[in-house]
Amino acid sequence: MPYVTVQMLEGRTDEQRKALIEKVTDAVVETTGASREKVVVFVEDIDKRNYGVGGKRLID
């Protein structure tokens, strides 16, 4: 049973999340041969206050 975790910055719509889960599932099925019903996709939001690049938070 493949498990995929996608971490991304917060702010995506429910429609974007739905499309992401569908496309990730399709890619896993296509590349691994796993059955669609066995693919699990987790989407984890990262709060922009907790994410930094180059020593600075994205919200600063």
Structural domains of the chain sorted by starting position, each given as residue range(s) with its CATH number in brackets: 3-57 (3.30.429.10)
Active site residues: 2
Q: What percent of the chain has pLDDT over 70?
A: 100
pLDDT recorded at residue 56: 94
- Total-model pTM: 0.86
**12: Cβ–Cβ under 8 A, 6 or more apart, which residues?**
20, 45
**59: Cβ–Cβ under 8 A, 6 or more apart, which residues?**
48, 49
Distance CA 23, CA 38 (A): 15
